[in-house]
Amino acid sequence: MQLNIYLLNHPFIQVLSNYITEKEKHNNFIYYLKSQQLGSFLIYEVLRKCMHLKDVYIKKINYIQEIKVNYPLQSYSIISDLTTSHHIITNAAKLLPYTTFECINNINDKVSYKNNEKIIFFEKFLCNYKAIKSIDYLVKNKKININQMKVACIICNNKVLSQIGEKYPRLEIYTTKITNF
């Protein structure tokens, strides 16, 4: 198994991850806020190497202002089980203007992907094989390059990681914890 696993050890990410995995109270407002913060941090970590910014110069009367904007042709697709993780990934649409959300259970021929689109599989707990089946489908049927895909999760199972590593050794996985359950 030669898998690219990034274990996110930043203190903010670890504190939020511990809170979310220990509390599991879905009707608590603080739980939702911390989930959204953790989702923003995870999406940031996944995309910070591949996100392209473009310099825009605005001429003012006395000076030139430089700002950086997201490259306009870059689009993202986040595939997740939206019934369990919608509250975690909702801020991604605010950060990335060209983002679509797809339910992992509904990946089929009706969904079209662009050639340069970055695909992120997000799972709260990567402990089943839905993500592997979805990756298989996209690689075989949609002919999407594995380098366009990344996996992000809060907790992942080492058995699922080993199976992903056997099939897709170049896939990048971002997580806060790896467990043996």
pLDDT, tens only, 15-67: 988 888 876 655 688 888 888 999 999 988 998 887 777 888 998 889 999 98
Residue 154 in contact with residue 175, Cβ under 8 Å? yes
pTM of the model: 0.84
pLDDT at position 111: 66
CB burial of residue 55 (10 Å; 0-12, 13-18, 19+): exposed
Query: Taken in order 38, 118, 173, 102, is the CA torsion positive or negative?
Result: positive
- Give which of 37, 29, 12, 25 is closest to 88, Cα–Cα: 37
Which residues, including other chains, have CB under 8 Å from residue 76's CB and lie 6 or more apart? 47, 92, 96, 98, 99, 100, 117, 118, 119, 120
Query: Taken in order 143, 128, 177, 99, is the CA torsion positive or negative?
Result: positive
CA distances to 5, 40, 103, 123, 175 from 152, rounded to whole Å, are 10, 11, 15, 6, 6
Residue 88 in contact with residue 39, Cβ under 8 Å? yes
pLDDT, tens only, 140-180: 888 888 988 999 999 998 888 888 989 999 899 999 999 88
Query: Taken in order 150, 153, 155, 157, is the CA torsion positive or negative?
Result: negative
Residue 137 in contact with residue 107, Cβ under 8 Å? yes
Least confident span in 3-17, 105-119, 153-167: 105-119
What is the maximum alpha-carbon separation in the chain? 62
pLDDT band at 8 (very low <50, low <70, confident <90, very high): very high
Place of tokens 């990756």: 135
pLDDT at position 38: 92
- Give which of 103, 104, 102 is closest to 117, Cα–Cα: 102
Q: At what angle do helices 82-89 and 29-47 cross, to 10 degrees?
A: 80
pLDDT band at 134 (very low <50, low <70, confident <90, very high): confident
Query: Which domains, and CATH codes, for the chain?
Result: 4-179 (3.40.50.2020)
